[in-house]
Chain A
């Protein structure tokens, strides 16, 4: 089905995107120099973790936002506004709650001036294709998540797009429902009943990508860019337990947990220390839980990531931040598709709460620059107090506002646990003053 002879359906050329801050200057880039093509007859995945800009990329392609640099060409025409020939399916379904199923499906063609009778014909056909017959006059509120997303699909199909864009379409659904919808969609696609030429979907679910897509583009963050492209030649229907399937999943896990290439050596000075380590938001309880889980049987200190994700029911957006935090704290490290506890990590598993707090404090000071910096500032000041805004601003020299805020929140949480300092939310200040 893949059409390699005609020109690509969609061409994204050297696209970069940054959003201007309130002050008018440009912020850190969300996407940097991204290029991709989409040909007729293929399903392509954009796979990445939250914050890697994959949804932004989808919005650039649909014409909802304009790239700061580069261009998007759809079917030979430059995209310079909400484009004809694409339709989007949303993670949140994005249905109008005050319209019935039929009206939700009809509103697209009606809005661009397709006649009432023609619209009705097309809408009923789309509803029929997607398996929603009988629900025409229901309101979205009355439907289950799976049925709502089917409405989302019907609404996208009814405008007869060439390219179907899907923004994590199954991630708001429960496991069983999501799987039904995936296979239904694949069946329709392979039977050629969808009447669309190509599908581009965003996901953070590795198995979903391997199950559905012919080509997988892995996105990395900071700034968002395509870090790998993986062809998926497995024949349909695909079996999740098939060894080839498992191998591909492992390969992608390994790709996505690779250590980023070492940062340019920047040690900083006492007056302007290097703070460029962003922390994800994770809870201390899940850190401890994760370490205990890996230390216990069947893993005994080394866990296969796909297996771990499956048994703990963790999405990679939960699993990877945890793993990375462990890696930053030198309690564990990634090796291919495995996560392995360090000797300290193994000891941590057996410690009591006070010992764990002590280890956490030490590891923070030794490995997380902002933790050491806060401590140093508190020590230096006679009042032993310092406002949070100061550290936020210092962090913003190294990362975007969002990341700075998240890192600060994280360090407050971890620092409280490690009893490095106290933080007063009302006054927004760090100090050593815990109630005694």
Chain B
């Protein structure tokens, strides 16, 4: 019995001493490994370069015409703000104003005009998405090689005239020639599709606009 108890004590003491020794050895090992490996783990902070971005494009319509179906063609003024998402796509918000002329019915019948002067004022805005589907260069004589884009554009908007608002789809195409990195000339042709009931029954109309714009990137 006594021998057995002694054996237990010895075993306990051995186990304790080994445990202490081995943790010490492990701790020492950890320290050595830390010393060797830590310098490689040092993270490098990467600073962002200070750089100006030019993703926005502001356009003023230097000359525009809008042909409203049945109401003749009139001068259009306006502008747009575009954001270039990547080299392929840009999104654009545009606003324009124009007016309606006399319809052929009013001209031929000689009756009282359908709309008052105020009702002939037209304003529209739209949100569109465009795809630069033919990027390229335009060569003028020997001297100039200008970057250019042919783009397809389409979107939705609101046209208001004759005291009413009309939901309008627009589709079109345009060309942009970059005179400088920050200065471009744009020519844009758009079909504004809307439905109105001015002549009594619903009528789907295609209203074509063409505008020459001058744009600045910022």
Q: Tell me if chain B binds chain A.
A: no
A residues adjacent to B (C-beta < 8 A): none
